[in-house]
A and B are shown apart, each in its own frame.
Chain A
């Protein structure tokens, strides 16, 4: 198994700061914007970004997380059923701008399911997607991210490993892994 470092701790910090600045550029004081992290791994990225944004804007920004398991299109096609995690959206998304946050954008199917799930809570004015890593040329659906930490050329057989302190790792690091 080969491991290649895509983003180290310092660079990741800069990347996240940049993403926050981009969000502020487009969303101003965040009075009409909510942030929703994707279960299971996207919530850690979303938490970091949410905390940073609240610090930068000195505002309370609504934050929730969303689990798209029951809207996935691969149920009954897997050997083991996907296990659902908690969905927690304690505010109205009707008429709001939603920033959906995930760690890695791969085939786009999770995001497709997430959008379907989100619509069961109301009709947002606008939905945007933020991802830390955008895997190029692996999309199976016409889905693209609005805010990208880093675009990476990957093979379908490879895997992107995101290690964050919030998940119990020593340092924030992102790796590309070759499966043999």
Chain B
């Protein structure tokens, strides 16, 4: 019998390792539920959840929506592109208007780091951060760690390399926090321009050679080059990036061991990951997507109990 230490899920940074374990144990049960002939339970039937997306998303939004429906919650969807935000409404006003319609929980994605933390200070509803700028993406990190635990039995003691655009990635930061809390060793790897200057202070190893990183790790979590967040050029061309940092089946086969390949999606095939690597038996990319629903169900279920 236990509950989360937090009322909101703003970032992995605020969670304890017990919180993460509790989420995983609950997600195990939900994974069994979503594989039943009837994939639905009535737990959240008296809860209304608003999915407020100020930034584009396919996977995360579908996954959250499905998780909510599997728990029998009522859901409403909001995206900034076709809303009054365009007319100049502030974030707090927008959210307060949604809450006035008796909404219990907000799942929010926003381009500004800290936006959900700001909301948490001003409103009573539970908030789940579905990605805030380049800061955190907690449910992605939870489902990544959950998938590693499922594939390798545990996370503690495992070596995980996060490869690619670390500078613009919220997935990287949340993953580092989550994996370290669970006792894993973490390495980041990418071109020097795409690694934050002081990333080593988080206690991660830094590597510029992708081959050495792959040689070192048990799991490689490959990240997308986030061109939409890059105002200047960080490397000469995508072709050159893929030549030096792209992961191919050939490269994987040349390693002396079998490693696991993960990717949070969307994949730019042929850039950070070649098609033959993404579709190989090394890859657990689609398991990550399935686990995403179970992990988000666990997060929503445990947070709803805390309101």
Contact: B1 with A70, CB < 8 Å?
no
Is B41 a contact partner of A71 (Cβ separation < 8 A)?
Answer: yes
The reply to whether B38 and A119 contact each other, CB–CB distance below 8 Å, is: yes
Say whether A28 faces chain B, with CB atoms less than 8 Å apart: no
Contact of B37 among A85, A87, A121 (CB under 8 A): A121
B38 contacts A67, C-beta separation under 8 Å: no
Bound-state CA distance A117–B43 (Å) is 11
Q: Is the CB of B29 within 8 A of A84?
A: yes
- Decide if A169 is an interface residue (CB 8 Å cutoff): no
- Is A122 interfacial (CB 8 A cutoff)? yes
CA distance A177 to B53 in the complex (A): 54
Residues A120 and B36 in contact, CB atoms below 8 Å apart: yes
Contacts of B36 on A, CB cut-off 8 Å?
120-121
Number of interface residues of B (CB under 8 A): 25
> Which residues from chain A contact B28 at a C-beta distance below 8 Å?
86
Q: How far is the CA of A115 from the CA of B25 in the complex (A)?
A: 24
User: Does A116 interact with chain B (Cβ within 8 Å)?
Assistant: yes
Q: Which residues of A contact B43 (CB under 8 A)?
A: 70-72, 75
Q: Given the complex, which residues of B lie within 8 Å of A117, measured CB to CB?
A: 41
Complex CA distance for A80 and B3, rounded to whole angstroms:
6
CA distance A83 to B24 in the complex (A): 12
Complex partner residue of B1 from A76, A83, A119, CB under 8 angstroms: A83
Question: Which parts of A65-85 form the interface with B (CB within 8 Å)?
Answer: 67, 69-72, 75-76, 78, 80-85
Please tell me if B302 contacts chain A, counting CB pairs below 8 Å.
yes
In the complex, per-residue mask of B295-307: 1 if CB is within 8 Å of any chain A CB, else 0: 0000001101101
Q: How far is the CA of A55 from the CA of B179 in the complex (A)?
A: 49
Residues of B within 8 Å of A70, CB to CB, are 29-30, 33, 41-43, 301
Which of B37, B38, B305 contacts A76, CB < 8 Å?
A: B305
Q: B228 contacts the other chain (Cβ, under 8 Å)?
A: no
Q: Please, which residues of chain A bring their CB within 8 A of the CB of B47?
A: 76
A118 to chain B, nearest CB (A): 10
Q: How far is the CA of A82 from the CA of B38 in the complex (A)?
A: 22
A121 and B33 CA atoms in complex are apart in Å by 10
Interface of B is mostly: loop
Residue of A nearest to B36 (CB): A120
Asked if B26 is at the interface of the complex by the 8 Å CB criterion, the answer is yes
Does the CB pair B42–A116 fall under 8 Å?
yes
Bound CA–CA A83/B26 (angstroms): 8
Assuming the contacts A75-B305, A76-B46, A76-B307, asked whether A84 and B26 have C-beta atoms less than 8 A apart, the reply is yes
In the complex, chain B residues whose CB is within 8 Å of the CB of A69: 29
For A81, give its contact among B3, B32, B41 (CB under 8 Å).
B3
B69 at the interface (CB under 8 A from A): no
Chain A residues, CB < 8 A from B1:
80, 82-83
- A81 and B38: CB pair below 8 A? no
B33 partner residues in chain A, CB cutoff 8 A:
70, 87
Output the least CB separation between B41 and chain A (Å).
4
Residue B2 at the chain A interface, CB threshold 8 Å: yes
B37 touches A67 (CB 8 A): no
Closest to B306 in A: A81
> B11-49 toward A: CB 8 Å interface, digit per residue (1/0)?
000000000000001101110110011101111101100
0/1 interface trace, chain A 115-150, chain B, CB 8 Å (1 if under):
011011110000000000000000000000000000
Rounded to whole angstroms, the CA-CA distance of A120 and B25 in the bound complex is 21
Complex contact B42–A71 (CB within 8 A): yes
Task: Looking at the assembled complex, report how far the CB atom of B269 sits from the nearest CB atom of chain A, in whole angstroms.
Answer: 38
Q: In the complex the two chains form, is B37's CB within 8 Å of A81's CB?
A: no
A86 touches B3 (CB 8 A): no
The residue in chain A whose Cβ has the minimal distance to the Cβ of B1 is A80
Interchain CB contact under 8 A, A120 and B29: no
A67 with B29: CB separation less than 8 A: yes
Q: Give 9 nearest A-B pairs by CB, closest first.
A: A81-B305, A120-B38, A70-B41, A84-B29, A70-B43, A80-B1, A80-B3, A120-B36, A75-B43
Interface residues in chain A, defined as those with a beta carbon under 8 Å from any beta carbon in chain B:
67, 69-72, 75-76, 78, 80-87, 116-117, 119-122
B-side residues, CB < 8 A to A, are 1-3, 25-26, 28-30, 32-33, 36-38, 40-44, 46-47, 301-302, 304-305, 307
